[in-house]
Chain A
Amino acid sequence: MDYSIKIGGEAGQGIQTIGDTLARVFSRSGYHVFTHQDYESRIRGGHNFFQIRFSDKPVSASRDRIDIIVALDKESILQHEKELSDIGQIIYDSSGLKQKHEKPQFLDIPFVDLAIEHGGSKIMANTVATGAVLGMLGMELDILLAIIKNTFKRKGEDIIKANTAAAMAGHDHAVKQCMKCSFSAAPPSKPKMLIPGIEAIGLGAIASGCKFYAAYPMTPSTGIMNYIAGKEKEYGIIVEQAEDEIAAINMALGASFAGVRAMTGSSGGGFALMVEGISLAGMTEIPVVIALGQRPGPATGFPTRTEQADLNFALYTSHGEFPRIIFAPGTPEQAFYLTNKAFELSEKYQIPSIIIFDTYLSDSEWTYEGFDLSRIKYNDYRLRGEAFANLPEYKRFAFTQTGVSPLGVPGETRHLVVIDSDEHDEDGHIVEDAETRIKMVNKRLFKKLPLIKKEIEPPSIYGHSNPEIVIAGWGSTYGVMKEAADELSANLDIAVLHFSEIYPFPPVNKFNYIKTLEDAKMTICVENNATGQFARLMRAETGYAFNRSINRFDGRPFTVESLIGEINVLIR
């Protein structure tokens, strides 16, 4: 079983609600689910869609063949009818769309009439549609009804009853009318966890003891702020919507200075405003984690679409020379654990860490058996209370073997914590002399860097163990590359090399990936940008040059089919 559903419509029609609900029904039924979205930068109108794939086998990307299209607008039919699979069906409401389709793959379901008749209001039309999809698939309604009950708990019994009736009406109608439906969903099993990339970052921050998050809203990073703000009370976290991104990064640094773990996040435009603040983190050695959600630029670009074009920006951001960490998770699971690792290393080495992701990863939902909290690291590297008070003397920037100086929390003891964005001495006071400058650069940069490098994990390899063809990439392309390789592996010795810990660039001692690349006949670097920023980084760091590249920069994510097509062109 491997089905794909597309819900299409205008912004504001509720495709998100239908999509979220169906995805939840499938994950609770124990299926593997992958969802992704495509929407315009508007609140009403336009054409958006929500795509869900579910299967009894793991899935990590969307496919181009759609089995059920829920068409809430005419555009959904115009644009997506050609994507229907052999058994595919389009469901629509002819009275709503004011058009009737006689072709056998169309099923007219009066969403609105059924909603009024059974639920008492046309608002329930989307619930009718959701029930209808489950009916077409031959699935029971129990999970959907449980979700309805939970969602409308606060709105009262009447609303729950009305939605229940609407769902059942849609379900019944589909069961009776869908003569051509030949879908058969696999028997349900143990519920799975369903999580989008953006919430995995937020969850990772909370699991890392983040206590302060300051940001200014900007797609695709806003979801982190939304998620953490929802947990403010429960976890004792302060989320502050800053007046701008300059304030946001400076707030994060202030909070971190005062002794709590702090984070900020934005997209390229807002990150640009943070650049000086990140440099300040470098100079003052204040731990901070920054989420950078990429969307197509330059400038405002495509606000709601996806691209991987800010890697150079993250690598080279900020004036001066200082160590930084850059992680690029490929899945929500990696986003969760890497956010934790970013906090751990930021605190341990007193440096900024950047989690770079994109709209595609942000919005995509994946299913898992669960996340393992025993893998979460939480070490408090700060000097507090008695341990701090007992020090005979304290210098915030004391020279040490590792370059890491004790990170004292001000206020609790008589020791003073002094930091300065000017070059400074061990006490944190302004200096001008060359000798101290050299010592400080050694401390901040050269002593720490090799230690940080040791913490970096090598890229993952998936597929053939001795590949002739390697497709390599970083960040959100992981799922698509994996599925493409799965499909191509029937005829090719192919493997995927995926980088999620990007900087410092992973050394080869744990896994000599350079040898794997050199042994292959063809190596292809796959990037969602125009200039191949990662390929260039690889060459700069290791001297290795990929012999081919596939770049996509139309603001859309790669799809498995398009990637396979491009790989086939290269190997022919």
Chain B
Amino acid sequence: MSSLDDYKGQTPSWCPGCGNFSILKTFKDAMVELGIEPHRFTVVSGIGQAGKFPHYIKCNTFNGLHGRTLPVATAIRLADHDMLTIAVAGDGDCYGEGGNHLMHAMRRNINVKLFVHDNQIYGLTKGQASPTSMEGMVTKNQPFGVFSEQLNPMALAVALDCSFAARGFAGDGEHLKGLIKEAINHKGFALLDILQPCVTFNKINTYEWYRQRVYRIEPEYNPEDRIEAFKKALEWGDKIPIGIIYRNNRLTFEERMPVIKDAPLVKQPFELSKLETTLKEFY
């Protein structure tokens, strides 16, 4: 068994009051409760404030490029499907720079857990609009306000039959912890979009703003009904649902791949002598 201390990492360099602190704490609590030791999982992160996340816990870490968490995480799963693989990205990272990968990770249904720290802003680069910034938000780079429609990750996920789509709120740690555990225990690709107040650059979507709007999805709700899920996914504004929006049990990419049916790729030996037979095919 592991205790909280086992996950203690470097000292965070986030701004005081940042929503990321609560996500960090909640994540560690969830791992302790799940009993997943630090060496049993890998966090793949991108670049941004969210991207620094794995340094602040203890785990195998691949802190790669801005936008590229999902291809890396996908391949880690293909090479070693015994490794719990979690991708941590910012909203810019994942929905902007790496948007193409998100679409295809959902299609593949690779068993990766994607946690998006969605502060609806570019934090690390000091406050430009992100794909989830709300229409009209004025920033230094968008002096006339954001023209583009806000990306809706939940609707996108339902449309692409993503096998698990949920929204959490950094200000509701207890609920978020449940979602993190559900995502990890789910078999298949899981998108968990976490509303994360940015106290420095996002003056619209504040703790207060979120608190007035978010509500925990009612227990009767059936996340396996795709049409209902799409309706739920479209809710945004005065009321914002948090919880599991959509879930299915599609086969995972790993399950479909015959090459790794009996053992993870990384455990499979290589025998050069086999080449003798292959060489004969060239005669």
Q: Across the two chains, which residue of chain B brings its CB closest to A276?
A: B65
Determine whether A257 belongs to the interface, using a CB cutoff of 8 Å to chain B: yes
Determine whether A69 belongs to the interface, using a CB cutoff of 8 Å to chain B: no
Determine whether B144 belongs to the interface, using a CB cutoff of 8 Å to chain A: no
Assembly CA distance A413 to B40 (angstroms): 9
Assembly CA distance A211 to B47 (angstroms): 28
**Residues in chain A near residue B54, CB distance under 8 A:** 418
B72 touches A257 (CB 8 A): yes
Determine whether B63 belongs to the interface, using a CB cutoff of 8 Å to chain A: yes
Q: Across the two chains, which residue of chain B brings its CB closest to A422?
A: B63
B61 touches A416 (CB 8 A): yes
Assembly CA distance A409 to B58 (angstroms): 16
A258 touches B83 (CB 8 A): yes
Determine whether A421 belongs to the interface, using a CB cutoff of 8 Å to chain B: yes
A257 touches B76 (CB 8 A): yes
Given contacts A231-B278, A417-B60, A420-B63, contact A250 B72 (CB under 8 A): yes
B283 touches A28 (CB 8 A): yes
Overall SS of chain A's interface: mixed
Assembly CA distance A378 to B275 (angstroms): 13
Interface-centre pick from A203, A247, A253, A416 (highest chain B CB count, 10 A): A247
**A232-260 interface mask toward B, CB cutoff 8 Å, 1 = contact, 0 = none?**
11111110101110111011111101111
**Residues in chain B near residue A218, CB distance under 8 A:** none
Q: How far is the CB of B4 from chain A (nearest CB, A)?
A: 17
Given contacts A238-B78, A411-B82, A419-B61, contact A193 B279 (CB under 8 A): yes
Q: How far is the CB of B43 from chain A (nearest CB, A)?
A: 10
**Residues in chain B near residue A87, CB distance under 8 A:** none
Interface-centre pick from A27, A28, A410 (highest chain B CB count, 10 A): A410
Determine whether A395 belongs to the interface, using a CB cutoff of 8 Å to chain B: no
**Residues in chain B near residue A414, CB distance under 8 A:** 37, 39
B270 touches A211 (CB 8 A): yes
**A278-295 interface mask toward B, CB cutoff 8 Å, 1 = contact, 0 = none?**
001000100000000000
Interface residues of A in 413-440 (CB under 8 A from B): 413-422, 428-430
Q: How far is the CB of B1 from chain A (nearest CB, A)?
A: 14
Given contacts A247-B71, A250-B68, contact A416 B59 (CB under 8 A): yes
Interface-centre pick from A209, A250, A378 (highest chain B CB count, 10 A): A250
Determine whether B62 belongs to the interface, using a CB cutoff of 8 Å to chain A: yes
Q: How far is the CB of B63 from chain A (nearest CB, A)?
A: 4
Assembly CA distance A229 to B274 (angstroms): 16
Given contacts A211-B268, A259-B266, A376-B272, contact A192 B283 (CB under 8 A): yes
B283 touches A411 (CB 8 A): no
Given contacts A212-B75, A277-B68, contact A410 B278 (CB under 8 A): no
A373 touches B68 (CB 8 A): no
A418 touches B61 (CB 8 A): yes
**A392-415 interface mask toward B, CB cutoff 8 Å, 1 = contact, 0 = none?**
000000000000000001110111
**Residues in chain B near residue A262, CB distance under 8 A:** 75, 79
Determine whether B34 belongs to the interface, using a CB cutoff of 8 Å to chain A: no
Assembly CA distance A209 to B278 (angstroms): 14
**Residues in chain B near residue A59, CB distance under 8 A:** none
Assembly CA distance A195 to B104 (angstroms): 35
Assembly CA distance A201 to B281 (angstroms): 15
Q: How far is the CB of A538 from chain B (nearest CB, A)?
A: 34
Q: Across the two chains, which residue of chain A brings its CB closest to B39?
A: A414
B62 touches A238 (CB 8 A): no
Contact of A243 among B82, B101, B265, B270 (CB under 8 A): B101
Contact of A413 among B39, B260, B275, B283 (CB under 8 A): B39
Given contacts A253-B75, A378-B272, A420-B61, contact A244 B100 (CB under 8 A): yes
A410 touches B83 (CB 8 A): yes
- Chain B: residues with Cβ within 8 Å of the partner, total of 53
A428 touches B78 (CB 8 A): no
Determine whether A481 belongs to the interface, using a CB cutoff of 8 Å to chain B: no
**B77-106 interface mask toward A, CB cutoff 8 Å, 1 = contact, 0 = none?**
011101100000000000000001101100
Determine whether B26 belongs to the interface, using a CB cutoff of 8 Å to chain A: no
B274 touches A250 (CB 8 A): no
**Residues in chain A near residue B175, CB distance under 8 A:** none
**Residues in chain A near residue B76, CB distance under 8 A:** 254-255, 257-258
B72 touches A254 (CB 8 A): yes
B282 touches A193 (CB 8 A): yes
Given contacts A411-B82, A417-B61, contact A250 B71 (CB under 8 A): yes
Overall SS of chain B's interface: helix
A410 touches B258 (CB 8 A): no
Determine whether A225 belongs to the interface, using a CB cutoff of 8 Å to chain B: no
A410 touches B79 (CB 8 A): no
Assembly CA distance A308 to B55 (angstroms): 43
- Chain A: residues with Cβ within 8 Å of the partner, total of 66
B44 touches A237 (CB 8 A): no
Assembly CA distance A544 to B105 (angstroms): 51
Determine whether B35 belongs to the interface, using a CB cutoff of 8 Å to chain A: no
Assembly CA distance A275 to B258 (angstroms): 32
B260 touches A238 (CB 8 A): yes
Assembly CA distance A196 to B58 (angstroms): 48
Q: Across the two chains, which residue of chain A brings its CB closest to B13?
A: A430
**Residues in chain A near residue B38, CB distance under 8 A:** 416
Determine whether B259 belongs to the interface, using a CB cutoff of 8 Å to chain A: yes
Determine whether A524 belongs to the interface, using a CB cutoff of 8 Å to chain B: no
Assembly CA distance A325 to B274 (angstroms): 28
B71 touches A254 (CB 8 A): yes
Assembly CA distance A380 to B258 (angstroms): 25
Determine whether A191 belongs to the interface, using a CB cutoff of 8 Å to chain B: yes
A254 touches B62 (CB 8 A): yes
Determine whether A309 belongs to the interface, using a CB cutoff of 8 Å to chain B: no
A421 touches B52 (CB 8 A): no
**B101-126 interface mask toward A, CB cutoff 8 Å, 1 = contact, 0 = none?**
10110000000000000000000000
Contact of B63 among A238, A376, A419 (CB under 8 A): A419
Determine whether B276 belongs to the interface, using a CB cutoff of 8 Å to chain A: yes
**Residues in chain A near residue B20, CB distance under 8 A:** none
Assembly CA distance A416 to B83 (angstroms): 13
Q: How far is the CB of B90 from chain A (nearest CB, A)?
A: 15
Determine whether B202 belongs to the interface, using a CB cutoff of 8 Å to chain A: no
A251 touches B75 (CB 8 A): yes
A378 touches B75 (CB 8 A): no
A373 touches B276 (CB 8 A): yes
Determine whether A370 belongs to the interface, using a CB cutoff of 8 Å to chain B: yes
Determine whether B64 belongs to the interface, using a CB cutoff of 8 Å to chain A: yes
Determine whether B49 belongs to the interface, using a CB cutoff of 8 Å to chain A: no
**Residues in chain B near residue A276, CB distance under 8 A:** 65
Assembly CA distance A27 to B60 (angstroms): 52
B62 touches A257 (CB 8 A): yes
Given contacts A206-B278, A238-B78, contact A280 B52 (CB under 8 A): no
**Residues in chain A near residue B52, CB distance under 8 A:** 430
Excluding A247-B104, A260-B266, A409-B266, 20 further A-B contacts by CB distance (< 8 Å) are A203-B275, A207-B272, A211-B268, A238-B259, A250-B75, A251-B74, A253-B75, A255-B265, A258-B42, A258-B266, A370-B279, A373-B276, A410-B60, A416-B38, A416-B58, A416-B61, A417-B60, A418-B61, A430-B52, A430-B63
CB-defined A-B contacts under 8 Å, sample of 8: A191-B283, A209-B272, A246-B68, A410-B42, A418-B55, A419-B61, A419-B63, A421-B64
